[in-house]
Structure 1
Amino acid sequence: MYFRVFLWFLCLPLGVLGQGQPVSGTILDDRLEPIPLAHVRLRSTQWGTATDTLGRFRLEGIAPGSYQLTVSALGYRPHVQRITLGQAPLQLPPVSLEPDVERLNETVVTGTMKAVKRTETPVPVEVYSPTFFKRNPTPNLFEGLQNVNGVRPQINCNVCNTGDIHINGLEGPYTLVLIDGMPIVSGLGTVYGLSGIPNSLVEQIEIVKGPASSLYGSEAVGGLINIITKSALSAPKFFADAMGSSWGEYNLDAGGKVPIGPKTDLLLGLNYFNYDQPADRNGDNFTDVTLQERISVFQKWNFRRPDARVFQLAGRLFYEDRWGGEMQWTPAFRGGDQVYGESIYTRRWEVLGRYQLPVDEPLMLAVSYNDHHQNSVYGNIPYLADQRIGFAQLTWDKSAGRHDLLAGAALRYNYYDDNTPATASTTGNAPDQFLLPGIFLQDEWGFTEGHSLLGGLRFDHHPRHGGILTPRLAYRWKPSESDILRFNAGTGFRVVNLFTEDHAALTGAREVIISETLEPERSWNANLNYLKKIYTRGGHFLGLDASVFYTYFTNAILPDYDSDPNEIRYRNLDGHAISKGVSANLDLALAGGFKAMVGATLQEVTQTRDGVRSQQILTERFTSTWSLSYDIRALRLTVDYTGNLYGPMRLPLLGNLDPRREYSPTWSIQNIQLTYKATGGWEVYGGVKNLLDWTPNRGNPFIIARANDPFDREVTFDAQGNAVATADNPYALTFDPSYVYGPNQGIRGFLGVRYRLD
């Protein structure tokens, strides 16, 4: 034994001399700039180092053999490659890392109206990059949000397929949608504001769950979605994305950066969508999916000014022609009572801008204006509406010691006119128009290391409702670099215009009853959020984002479908409504190319009316979303598996005899996609949507009530106007397309191609 040990010591120096070969190389970003402090190591060995300021690394004394070289850097996707070391030094070709926006310490602006790192803001803000939405490509952001935990696009009509966005189970009117921080989308524009913006023009999407009226005023009651578009300075020179599906849908996004002069850049984007093949897979003689032709043109100008002051101007033109109805409908039947159809012509334009005043103090002026015209018919009932919303806001942003101050004044102009009783008076037509001025103040105080406290207060004055005060409080504690605990509490308010928000009220299937003068809705909210991020030496990442939320509403205005099946009755709730629950997101990224984002929300949304507590209609008790991705780097191929799961929700029935389910089943939509990244900026992608071929007609005798008699010609009514059961109408129903909780579009394949020139 001693002889063996002696021989081992004799051979050891020879072995060391034989394995003294170095491995060296350079780590670059996607723009071929060096990445300092990137971690470079040989997997399953003790060899590792970090790059210098020029992105260079060198590993010494490595034995000949085959190894896995891993490279990781904060904000970039991990890189893994196989290397073989012989008897000579190995000089690797430069390694270029791909940026990973979702793993950066993102800069957000939505929570506090100030650009700040996501980990430093007391207000929890969820950030989603264009890469996230490419995993399940959709022709508009409205559909793309279905993969965000706690956010659900809700289709409100089986025929016209208009919809809104639910956050934590709250109805769409409680969600404020912004573009570049400006609240230009509201009322009529929710679904349209989320359509027609090319994915390639989006820098990121920020989502705040919970009231934000102390900064953004009316409508930011349940949460807000801020679509932040790219700067003309950082956008690609040219991009194009074309996609088609086996259902005959075609979508095209195209655009790029256009240099106008030495001090001016233009960002231009075009979106075109077409679907013109009527389909009736459920056999009710109604189109399963609304036919659409949509075109949208987006421009964003960036002007260079002295001292790097901001001056941006953006605009969008939007036109859409959509219709749904009986399969034999043509435009010749529009507005008539022979063949039922719902046809909507929408024309909309928007402008918004930001201008930093040329003074020493940091003063920023932001303005927006949108004009929305809608020409619609629901069967033989016309709905003609015009909406104009103007918004101006001046903010002052100043730091003083440990205090970070924000003050501002805002003015909103609202004009709405239609051909319904909503704008009628005893003297004739009376468009609804008002000015809503407001002022706000916010102070974020970093009173000690790792602790900050934010307080905010806003005062708005409505000409009909008087002064409205909305306070806000937020606390952030950062016990370590990877842990953050936040507590938020605040209030929200909303001034309501029913006819711009509830398309169920426009179908003509039910009479709309407004029982009283409607007062503004108020909400009180509390939210506890915990964020955890873990980065490992091996290039792995694990993130946890969990929240507990509670919102209490007074004066809530909710549609009453239950009191009378022929009516939708609106009034301020004599009682209260509550939304409460828990939500969690898990983000996992492995150096080998696997990534998972999984989220789940458990919630209870109830209303107590006249002492009776009930679940809110069209609100699920639980939801889950997931996105699983795997990069096969050797083949330049990415596999994405996405999906969502929704729990039961209460549905609007037409009476005790209605044979349709009172509650929806638990249902899921799942998708798979393959993406091949070719050279020269090209990508080819394709896959299958709705793998389970799920549609809401499963387990139901029908979805649209009395689809065979949409004008109620064969319905018998009693003296009170209620439908009576007859041999031809055994369930005492009237025509009603409002029983809808999910898309009618089944399984379909899709194929697309992208090109990007930087």
Structure 2
Amino acid sequence: MKLSKLLYSICIALLSHAALAQDGSISGSLSSNGSPIVSANVGLLNTPYGDVADENGAFRIQKVPFGRYTLVVSMVGFERISQSIQVSASNPDLTLNFELKEKVNALEDVVVSGTLKEVSKLESPVPVEVYTQKFFKANPTPSIFESLQNVNGVRPQLNCNVCNTGDIHINGLEGPYTMVLIDGMPIVSGLSTVYGLTGIPQSLIERVEIVKGPASTLYGSEAVGGLINIITKKPGNAPQTSVDIFATDWGEVNTDIGLKYNLGKRAQSLLGINYFNYQNPIDNNGDNFTDLTLQNRISIFNKINFQRKDNRVFSIAGRYVYEDRWGGEMQWNSENRGGTDVYGESIFTSRWETFGIYQLPTSELLNFQFSANGHVQDSFYGDTSYDADQYVAFGQLTWNKTMGNHDIVAGTVYRYTYYDDNTPATFNTDSNENNPSRIHLPGAFIQDEISLKPNNKLLLGLRYDYNSIHGSIVTPRVNYKWNSANKRNILRISAGNGYRVANVFTEDHAALSGARTVEFAGELSPETSWNTNINFVKKFYTSNSTFIGLDATAFYTYFTNRILPDYETDPNKIIYSNLDGNSISRGISLNVDMSWESGLKINGGLTVMDVTVEENGERTRQILTESVQGVWSVGYKFRNGIQVDYTGNLYGPMRLPLLGELDDRPAESPWFSIQNIQLTKKFGNKWEVYGGVKNLLNFTPADNSIARAFDPFDRNVTFGNDGQVIPTPNNPNGLTFDPTYVYASNQGIRGFLGLRFTVQ
């Protein structure tokens, strides 16, 4: 009896063990927008059971013991899926099909710059590049001006070796052809072209949108080469407190502070403060001139969003910037300002801005956008005084309406510009009186975005402006977009017209710096350009779980009436005139984004361009324009939480402005590269420490970039009756003092250390 009970117990135990040892399987498929997802990882959390999706997106996990699990689906570029499942005797073979959703990345970012209305980048018929705050954190800088050095096809260009003012080149076109906006408003223009990109608190920047090619149909004058739209954070989305401080071993200190607070129950406000200070004269190249301009700058920004009925928009913002900068001979001090004993360039800048948007309380979508700014500059370039005042008022009423497959945006615009200075630009020689410039610029525009088919869009636009000086100006545009059904292939074709009315003294401070005098060859007419470009975007996922995104563009711009500074006809002059011929900017660019499940990310870009000027039947390469530009950013986060970022750029040779045939300085710049590395470590959710090295290769231009730096007032230069330099034994090359031979900063290698504090 006992033996039979023992045998019975053993049988029950074996049967129970057999039941427990039973297993099943999990199979299914993965897709996104109707296309299979290849090489995605499918696994059971905290177990060795898993599979990789095949070329059809199918997966199968076999011999899974009965039990409850968490199934995880992961793939680079897609949102992670976690789902609780149970494999049991009643359901041993599970079949699960998943639709993966792509992560919100650069292609799905909301953009406004291309069409004046919010639309996902994927759907925009106008190619718009988007760069978030995370992109700029990989190489922290004191200003957005310097941050753009790692954007493909965009180059911050210094225009003066002494005062270090500069502008932004897009596809080889000079800064005045680039319109810079803040929250869609034309704030940075005219006098502030060389200063307006400094002093914007970067902690308040949400993203930067870049459109390459004319955008005058929507934005009017100045948007000839492209536009840069700096989008600030909405108070509701900003951290409660953010502080970012870093310093370099050169003595630079930059501080960004952001604070969010409520104004009553119906308004949220965002305050930003930027302070930059550098007061450490350095002369590493031994020319007795400061390698880096000394600066003391403060910027205060405040943005207020009001809550209104039916979620109508009302936002207003303001910014004030004050800057004191100087560069020059090492022994210069404030007592030498404007004198002829010691050469220095000293600039006091005071600037205010206000801008906003108000949605009208109507059934139609009507938005009124407005801005105003004032800019006062008190400066000396050696003993040359330049005092200028500029005030700009801007208003724009837009109407947006969808009718069937037509999405229409129309608007009326008015812009008033007042400009006065102490140069010949605002002096009436006939009456011998000062004559400030006052320009009225009313206009109207309309664009129609037509959805031809689900995968095809056509955008047509037309703008009319009436310039109170130059008369009527018409700018058309056309854009076409096609995308594949899975939206992994996008083709955009664009063509358009741009125009610009130039004011030399507000845009080109080389016209003031040094010993050259300015000459105008006749009345300057508005510049016009025609542009076409083809853009193709491709994204795909490889068999080793790698995401690759490609963005390729071919561009062509044809200019007439272009205004170019002539440095070569007379080495003592800068001659401005409309080009009696044409200018062409053409090239190709490629951006590549790659990311892996491991956390490694690589971004790279290459632009090859040819920017030429043809006059009197002779075609030459434009001065200070590289033929090749490359950029890269490599980021990797280790398991211990340390993030490493390696960024850099590469520039091909540029033709440089020489002072004559005897000038023995190189006619072209060398190939050069600026490379940086940074380590970042987070401590909890609030603190972040970062540091690294900038300009790892310690590249600086040649020591003789400033011609005759030892004689800045040309006391020992002999001039003939025609104003030309006469070579002498102590000046055999016939040179004069000239700081315009500049293509890169004189600031060499330096270390930096920073701290961020954020309270959400």
Q: Same fold (TM over 0.5)?
A: yes
Q: Which residue of structure 2 lines up, in the alignment, with residue 91 of structure 1? A: none
> Alpha-carbon deviation of 1:625?
0.2
Give ranges in structure 2 of 5+ residues lacking alignment.
Answer: 1-13, 27-39, 54-60, 83-101
Query: For 1:219 and 1:15, how far apart are their aligned partners in 2?
Result: 80
Would the aligned equivalents of 2:479 and 2:492 in 1 still touch at CA under 8 Å?
yes
Q: How far apart are residue 447 of structure 1 and its match? A: 1.1
Letter in 1 for 2:324: D
Residues 533 and 554, structure 2, Cα contact 8 Å, conserved in 1:
yes
One-letter amino acid matched to 1:303: F
Q: Deviation of residue 570 (structure 1)?
A: 0.8
- Shift in Å, 1:592: 0.2
CA contact (8 A) 2:129 2:209 kept: yes
- Equivalences for residues 265-276 of structure 1 within 5 A: 265-276=268-279
Report if the CA contact (8 A) 1:365-1:394 is conserved. yes
Amino acid at match of 2:437: D
Q: CA 1:71–1:755 in structure 2 vs 1: closer, same or farther (change >3 Å)?
A: farther
What's 2:615 paired with?
609
Distance 2:575 2:518 in 1: 6
Q: Say which of 674, 682, 690 aligns to 2:679.
A: 674
Contact preservation (8 Å) 1:78, 1:591? no
**Residue 557, structure 1, aligned to residue 560, structure 2:** no
In 2: Cα distance, 1:392 partner to 1:251 partner: 34
Q: 1:38 to 1:238 in 2, by over 3 A?
A: farther
How far apart, CA to CA, are the structure 2 residues paired with 1:77 and 1:671?
33
**Closer, same or farther: CA 115–675 of 1 in aligned 2, 3 Å:** same
Structure 1 residue 138: Cα displacement? 0.3
Secondary structure of the residue aligned to 1:558 is strand
Alignment-derived partner of residue 373 in structure 1: 376
Correspondence for 1:517: 523
Deviations for 1:210-230, whole angstroms, at most 9, x for unmatched residues?
000000000000000000001
Q: 1:750 aligns to what SS in structure 2?
A: strand
One of 717, 735, 738 as aligned partner of 1:736: 738
Alignment partner for residue 438 of structure 2, among 417, 433, 437?
433
Q: Give runs of aligned pairs for residues 602-641 of structure 1, distance below 5 A.
A: 602-632=608-638, 634-641=639-646
Provide the rounded CA distance (Å) in 1 between the counterparts of 2:81 and 2:635: 14
Q: Aligned to 2:551, which of 545, 552, 564?
A: 545
Per the alignment, residue 447 of structure 2 pairs with: 442
Report 1:301-316 matches (<5 A). Answer: 301-316=304-319
Are positions 1:468 and 2:473 aligned together? yes
The 1:713/1:123 distance shift into structure 2, 3 A limit, reads same
In the other structure, the counterpart of 1:132 is 135
Shift of 1:538: 7.7
- The separation in 1 between residues aligned to 2:76 and 2:622, in whole angstroms, is 47
Does the aligned pair in 2 maintain the 1:43–1:68 contact within 8 Å?
no
TM-score, normalised via structure 1 length: 0.89
Structure 1, residues 444-486: CA drift from partner, whole Å, max 9, x if none?
A: 0001120110000000001121110000000001123200000
- Give the conservation status (yes or no) of the 8 Å contact 1:389–1:414: yes
8 Å CA contact 1:39–1:537 kept in 2: the answer is no
Deviates more, 1:38-47 or 1:111-120: 38-47
Q: Does structure 1 retain, via aligned residues, the 8 Å contact 2:211–2:228?
A: yes
| 2:343 is aligned with 1:359 | no
Contact 2:72–2:81 (CA<8 Å) still a contact in 1? no
**Structure 1 letter corresponding to 2:408:** L
Separation (CA, whole Å) in 1 of partners of 2:529 and 2:22: 70
Mapping of residues 70-469 of structure 1, within 5 Å? 71=74, 102-103=105-106, 105-425=108-428, 426-469=431-474
For the residues of structure 2 that align with 1:151 and 1:300, how far apart are their CA atoms?
28
Instruction: Provide the residue aligned with 2:10 in structure 1.
Output: none
> Deviation of residue 310 (structure 1)?
0.1
Following the alignment from structure 2 to structure 1, what is the Cα–Cα distance between the partners of residues 355 and 407? 26
Q: Distance in 2 between matches of 1:42 and 1:544?
A: 33
Output the CA distance in 1 between the equivalents of 2:173 and 2:403: 38
1:427 CA drift (Å): 3.7
Paired with 1:663 and 1:343, the residues of 2 have a C-alpha distance of 29
1:750 to 737, 749, 752: 752
Code of the residue aligned with 2:625 in structure 1: it is T
CA offsets 1:621-665 (integer angstroms, 9 cap, x no match): 010000000111x21111000000000000000011111110001
Query: SS at the partner of 2:711?
Result: coil
Alpha-carbon RMSD across the aligned residues, in angstroms, is: 2.7
CA distance in 2 between counterparts of 1:476 and 1:164 reads: 32
The 1-side partners of 2:669 and 2:454 are apart by 50
User: What residue number does 1:657 align with?
Assistant: 662
Shift of the 101–382 alpha-carbon distance from structure 1 to 2, 3 Å rule, reads farther
CA contact (8 A) 1:70 1:538 kept: no
- What's the CA shift for 1:540? 3.8
Query: Which residue type is aligned with residue 531 of structure 1?
Result: V
The answer to whether the 8 A contact 2:107-2:121 is kept is no
Q: What code does the residue aligned with 2:567 have?
A: Y
CA distance in 2, matches of 1:536, 1:334: 63
The one-letter code sitting in structure 2 at the alignment partner of 1:338 is: D
Residues 349 and 139 from structure 1, CA distance in 2 versus in 1: closer, same or farther, beyond 3 angstroms? same
TM superposition shift of 1:42: 6.9
Counterparts of residues 490-509 of structure 1 (less than 5 Å): 490-509=496-515
Q: 1:60 to 1:284 in 2, by over 3 A?
A: farther
Using the aligned pairs only, state the percent identity. 57
AA partner of residue 405 (structure 1): I
Alignment of 1:697-712 (within 5 A): 697=702, 702-712=704-714
Q: Match of 2:578? A: 572
The superposition leaves residues 139-169 of structure 1 with CA deviations (integer Å, 9 ceiling, x where unpaired) of 1000000000000000000000000000000
Cα deviation for residue 191 of structure 1 reads 3.6
Residue 680 of structure 1 deviates from its aligned partner by 3.0
Structure 1 gap segments, 5+ residues each: 1-10, 24-36, 51-57, 80-98
Deviation at 1:190, TM superposition (A): 2.2
The change in CA–CA distance for 1:353 and 1:22 in structure 2 (over 3 A counts) is farther
Aligned mates of 2:313, 2:19 — CA distance in 1: 61
Whether the aligned pair in 1 keeps the contact of 2:179 and 2:227 (CA below 8 Å) is: yes
